[in-house]
Structure formats: C-alpha cells, structure tokens
Amino acid sequence: MNKRNKLVKVLQIGDEDWRSLLLDEKSEKIQFFFCDAQAVDLSILDEKFGIYLFTSMSSLKLLKTLFHRIAPYYVLYDAALALSKEEQRLLLSREAYAIDMSDPIKVYQLLNRDFTGGQLGAKMSVDRLDIADSYTGLIHYDGHLGIELSGDFGSRFSQILTWRYDIPLGPDSDYELWPAFAVDGGVQIKLRVSMIAKGGSHIQRQVVIGQAQLQKPFLLQSHREDSFLAFSIEAQGRGHLKIGPLHYRKSRHGYGQLVVGGQRHADTKREELLFYFNPGDLKPPLNVYFSGYRSAEGFEGYGMMKALKAPFLLVADPRIEGGSFYLGSRELERNVLKQIDTALSKLGFNQQQLILSGLSMGSFGALYYGSSLHADAIIVGKPLVNIGSIAANEKMIRPGGFPTSLDILRSLTKETRLDAGQELNDRFWRRFLETDFQHTKIAIAYMLNDDYDSTAYDDLLSVLQKQHTQLISKGIPGRHNDNSPAINDWFLRQYHNILRHDFQRGAE
C-alpha cells in the first residue's frame, strides 16, 4: 500500500535490462533498477524495493531469496513463464500478478498508472445536489441518505439534478464512479459527466452513462489535460427515483479497489463494503481490523496491522457519511463472514487462529461478527453496540455531536421513532446473547463518560460475566472522543500481549 506522492523503487530481475528501452519514459513516481539474473549483484538484493518484476525463467531462482522482502501484490511476473509448483506456491502466497511482459514500455506505464500513489476516494454528498427549476413533482429529503423525487419526468431524458461543486481530475488518473440510486415505476436515469478545462469554462468532453452501465463501477477515463468534472442526473418516465451520494475513486484498472489488492463487494441494493487482505508472514493468527468512522473513503489501520507482521484483513464501510456500522442486508453481512473465511482458508488457519478488532464504529463490527465466529480473541476500544441509543443521544446528551447516527438509524430501520432505536439495539443483542464466548478472550478499553453509547461496557460486562468469559478491560476518564491516544495505546498493548501469549510471536 504505497503512500501518495512517494517515489517507488522498481527492481526488474531478468536477462535483458529494460532501462535502455525506457529512456523516453518519464515519471516522477517510479525509479527503475535492474538485477542481472545470470550474474547476480548481491548488494542490490539487500536494498528495499517497492515493486519486483520477474521477467525471465532465470529470475525465478531468486524468488525464494527475496520472498520475505516482497510486499504482497507488488510482485509481477511474466505470464509466459513456465512455473514449478514451488514457484506457483510462492507467487500465490505473495498475491502476485501474472501479466504480459512482451512490451516493457506498456509494463512501465502500467506500473506508473496503477501501482503508485495512495488511496484516493471520496463522495459527492446529497447536500450538494440542486434540483432543476423545471421540476414540479414531489420532493422528499431523506437526511444524508438521498433525495427522493416522484412524478412525471417526461418522455425524453432531461436534467433533473446537478451537483453544485466540481472535482479535479488529472491527466494520469482515471476514476471509477458509483452513484447510490434506486428507481421504480417507469423511471430511467442517466449520469452525465462534463469535463471542463482547468482555468476556463470550455467543455473538453461529455460522457453520458446509462443506467445499465451503472450496474458496476463505471470507468471514467481522464482527458489528456487537467480537468474539472461536473455531474448531473437526467431522468425520463413516470414513477419514483432516489439519488444518494456519488462515490468516485482513483481506478487501478483491475489491480485493486482504492489500493492495490483492495476489493469491493456490493449487494443487490448497491450497498458496498471494502476489504483488503495481506498474508503477512503466513503464520497465525489472522488479525481482522474493522475501520472506524471516516468521511474519507478508504482503509484504516494498515500501518498498525502491518507492524504486527501477522496476516491481516482490513474491512471498511464507505456508506452514508462515514460508515453504517457494517450492518445491512443478509447478503452484505454474509459476505463479511465469507471474506473472513476465505482469508482463513487461504492461510490454512482455523477460527481459533483469528483475532477480531476495531475502534469506535469498528468495535461494533468486531463484536457483531465475532458473535458468529469462534475467534481466539476480540480486541476493541470505545465500544459502540447500541446504535439506536447512539441516535437517541443526539438530541439531549450529545447535541450535534454525531448527527449521522440519525441517518444510520433511518437507513437500517426506515424509521426515526424511539422504539425503532430499541429494535436496532436488539439486532446486536439477539446475535450476541446467542453466542458462547467461553473460549474467546475479550479485551475492551472504554470511556468512563462516553456520550455516544454510555451503557455499552456495562451491557457487555453483564453478559460476559454470566459466561465466565476471560475479560480484560480498562476505563479511561472522558467522553467518546476525549482521549483517543490512551485508547489506542491500550488497544495495541493487548494485541502484543495476546500475540505473545497465545501465538508465541515474541514482543513484536
């Protein structure tokens, strides 16, 4: 997971030095090196590189030597090479990509475009939508979830909604677009994208994307010059439509979602979660980390999990403003468990070689899905489990502190009633109360004056005490967001302790 604007060192290992073929290729993102596979310079192998290319049969003899230096997903090899079973195993365990290397210039351009830079993703919120003056039908604002329009939109497509702000697009980046929408009746929509020249008003190009093309993320190719993108929705027919946020992310053209190796999974309602698996050192346990609330789209906790050296799986929730607590349709929730099971299977681990973890919103994911697994441990900080109560506290306990909680309540229950909040609380507790945690350690750091979910720790404690669960906990003075460093330090300390005690991983 390379960071934005960081120069990436690329090592080509092979029989023919590509550098003479790349003299006309200029990049401020990558620096190219060569290692002759027939006469190996051992000193260059001691250096650290961001990307490794294996371009000849003879280069593969160095695969085992370099194995622990190679970052997952950042190793590519010539798809034409005949691999031994051992070479296949090593490359598979590093999540390597097999590509056509017949044209070194195309390989160089691929690396420059898709294997550099950090995660870049955001959304155009419904707050930024303007409704066309010509529209005379019914309008309903559903919080930050979307704008609903009902009526007759005409027999021909016409502009009905416009995002009032533009976004920049450079000449070396393509975007993937994923608008949240729902239509019924006879309504159809199109998304129109206008590329406007930087520093002027000239429209360089327009792209009209039909509804059928939006069933998967649409790849918007950049212009050869810097542009600004303007978005609008066109509609036709009679019925109902709802438009939510428009997600846009730097495309890696099949090599990952947001980051190289990242994945997205959407349900039939167009709701999605993001996953990133890193095989680490291939030794137990698998550490699963659920991201906390974040308005910027992407993964959280990469550096923290990587430093533990064990395999890990990051889970992120890009919905609404900064996440919807990893809850959703049965399809969406089953897929979370499927991704965890898939990662365990890849590694050859069982559920007792699993740790689930998360902070704040991420704590809900760890505890909720931990109720369906038999993990060795669950480690959480600032636990949030009563989502309905969090929304109810917005009025008197925490006015204006976390307004998106009301959108989450609305999204998950279709209601804003207080009793709907209790139903949402019960959704967690029904699963949690059915689970036997006697063989799972649970570590919880909580805020003594938490203004989001003030009863979370006590509620958890009352259940876990009855089961004689091994519980490690620490209370820290303050409200939910008052002392994150103390929570984070304790959280990591429990990780180190459990890794050392249960998996003999030393004092990493």
Q: Is the pLDDT of residue 196 over 60?
A: yes
Give percent above pLDDT 90 in the chain: 89
DSSP 251: B
Please give the pLDDT value at position 507. Answer: 53
Q: Is the pLDDT of residue 508 over 50?
A: no
| Least-confidence region, from 104-113, 370-379, 417-426 | 417-426
Mean pLDDT over 131-146 rounds to 94
pTM value? 0.95
pLDDT category of residue 357 using cuts at 50, 70 and 90:
very high
Mean pLDDT over 30-51 rounds to 92
Q: Is the pLDDT of residue 5 over 90?
A: no
315-335 pLDDT, tens digit per residue, is 999 999 999 999 999 999 999
**How does the average pLDDT of the chain come out, rounded?**
95
pLDDT category of residue 2 using cuts at 50, 70 and 90:
low
DSSP 3: P
Mean pLDDT over 294-316 rounds to 96
Structure tokens at 225: 């010059």
Closest CA to 58 of 77, 71, 42: 77
Are the C-beta atoms of 390 and 452 separated by less than 8 Å?
A: yes
Are the C-beta atoms of 113 and 105 separated by less than 8 Å?
A: no
Amino acid type, 122: A
Beta bridge partners of 239: 151, 185
79-103 pLDDT, tens digit per residue, is 999 999 999 999 999 999 999 999 9
At a CB cut-off of 8 Å and minimum separation 6, what does 172 contact? 112, 113, 222
Common-topology check for domains 121-250 and 262-503 = no
Q: Computed from CA positions of residues 55, 56, 57, 62, in that sequence, does the dihedral angle turn out positive or negative?
A: negative
Domain boundaries, the chain: 8-114, 121-250, 262-503
Closest CA to 376 of 286, 487, 261, 464: 286
278-294 pLDDT, tens digit per residue, is 999 999 999 999 999 99
**Strand locations in 19-70 (E):** 30-36, 51-54
Closest CA to 457 of 421, 487, 485: 487
> Which CATH code for domain 262-503?
3.40.50.1820
Q: Could you report how far apart the first and last alpha carbons of the chain are, in Å?
A: 21
Are the C-beta atoms of 352 and 376 separated by less than 8 Å?
A: yes
Q: Is the pLDDT of residue 202 over 90?
A: no
Mean pLDDT over 32-48 rounds to 91
Q: Is the pLDDT of residue 6 over 90?
A: no
Give the count of beta carbons closer than 10 Å to the beta carbon of residue 410.
18
Q: Is the pLDDT of residue 273 over 90?
A: yes
Here the contacts of 390-398 (C-beta below 8 Å, separation 24 or greater) are: 390/452, 390/453, 391/421, 391/424, 392/418, 392/421, 393/451, 393/452, 393/453, 393/454, 397/451, 397/454, 398/451, 398/452
> Which CATH code for domain 8-114?
3.40.50
Q: Is the pLDDT of residue 388 over 60?
A: yes
> Which CATH code for domain 121-250?
2.60.120.260
Q: From CA 91, how far away is CA 82, in angstroms rounded? A: 13
Please give the pLDDT value at position 419. Answer: 83
The residue with tokens 């064990």 is 310
Q: From CA 502, how far away is CA 156, in angstroms rounded? A: 65
Q: Are strands 377-381 and 354-359 parallel, antiparallel or unpaired?
A: parallel
Are the C-beta atoms of 178 and 272 separated by less than 8 Å?
A: yes
Please give the pLDDT value at position 201. Answer: 82
pLDDT category of residue 1 using cuts at 50, 70 and 90:
low
| Least-confidence region, from 172-176, 271-275, 370-374 | 172-176
